[in-house]
């Protein structure tokens, strides 16, 4: 089972509404959310935690149980000491959360915008990937497709973008990272966005659900 939940930031709530929503989630999450200075960043992080709680509620796990098993490793990657994996991502007004009981999972979403100097990113891609990207100069779609695949894989593996992305080729839907096979699936969230999810379980269909939070 792989379930993906997402929510759109349709409008910015007033500060009192934001604080009201913040009060509905465990206080453990508050400092990191409030550390963001930009209003959109704070709201998206709050939405991500609300999606996380809702996703586990749908699995029959209440928020108190979730928090009792909530952990963060030395790199700050969150996890739960339960037979489930989850991951969050955010981009320009959309928050996404993926939950899986079929192995490690990672997700990344990016809003498609023009890339002013694409050559700055060359070292992040293999020669074959770069040839494909440069052969598609009129559109940044392939760049974002490969980028979200790479980040989803590294998030699933528990590694950050500090890793050498050029050594992780994502042209195929099955990729081996740190000796573990991952399956990659594109997720159609909204126009002008590209989203990919990677999981270490068997390749299977996923459920996609939009939740209106604000």
Residue 76 has pLDDT above 80, yes or no: no
Instruction: Identify the weakest region by mean pLDDT among 84-98, 126-140, 152-166.
Output: 152-166
Pairing of strands 2-8, 207-210: parallel
Q: Output the pLDDT for position 160.
A: 59
Domain limits of the chain? 2-210
Across 86-108, average pLDDT:
95
Q: What value does the mean pLDDT of the chain take? A: 91
Fold of 2-210: Ribosomal Protein L22; Chain A (3.90.470)
Q: Output the pLDDT for position 102.
A: 87
Q: Output the pLDDT for position 138.
A: 63
Give the position of tokens 């969230």: 189
Give 135-188 as a DSSP string.
Answer: TTTT-SHHHHHHHHHHHHHHHHHT--TTS-GGGS--SSSEEEETTEEEEEEEE-
Residue 154 has pLDDT above 80, yes or no: yes
Band of the pLDDT at 185, cuts 50, 70, 90? Answer: very high
The conformational region for residue 146 under phi > 0 = left, psi -120 to 50 = alpha, else beta, is alpha
Band of the pLDDT at 162, cuts 50, 70, 90? Answer: low
Residue 161 has pLDDT above 60, yes or no: no
In 3D, which of 131, 139, 126 has the Cα closest to residue 165? 126
């Amino acid at each position: 089972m792989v379930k993906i939940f997402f929510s759109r930031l349709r409008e910015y709530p007033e500060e009192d509404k934001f604080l009201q929503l913040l009060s509905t989630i465990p206080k453990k999450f508050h400092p990191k959310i409030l550390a963001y200075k930009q209003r959109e960043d704070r709201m998206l992080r709050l939405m991500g935690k609300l999606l996380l709680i809702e996703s586990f509620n749908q699995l029959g796990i209440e928020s108190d149980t979730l928090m009792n098993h909530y952990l963060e490793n030395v790199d700050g990657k969150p996890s739960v000491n339960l037979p489930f994996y989850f991951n969050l991502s955010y981009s320009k007004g959309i928050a996404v959360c993926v939950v899986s009981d079929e192995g490690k999972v990672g997700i990344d979403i990016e809003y498609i915008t023009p890339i002013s100097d694409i050559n700055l990113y060359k070292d992040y891609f293999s020669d074959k990937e770069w040839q494909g990207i440069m052969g598609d100069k009129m559109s940044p779609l392939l760049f974002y497709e490969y980028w979200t695949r790479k980040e989803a894989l590294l998030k699933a593996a528990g590694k950050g973008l500090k890793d050498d992305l050029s050594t992780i080729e994502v042209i195929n839907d099955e990729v081996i990272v740190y000796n573990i096979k991952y399956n990659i699936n594109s997720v159609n969230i909204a126009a002008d966005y590209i989203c990919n999810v990677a999981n270490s379980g068997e390749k299977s269909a996923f459920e996609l659900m939009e939740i209106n939070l604000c």
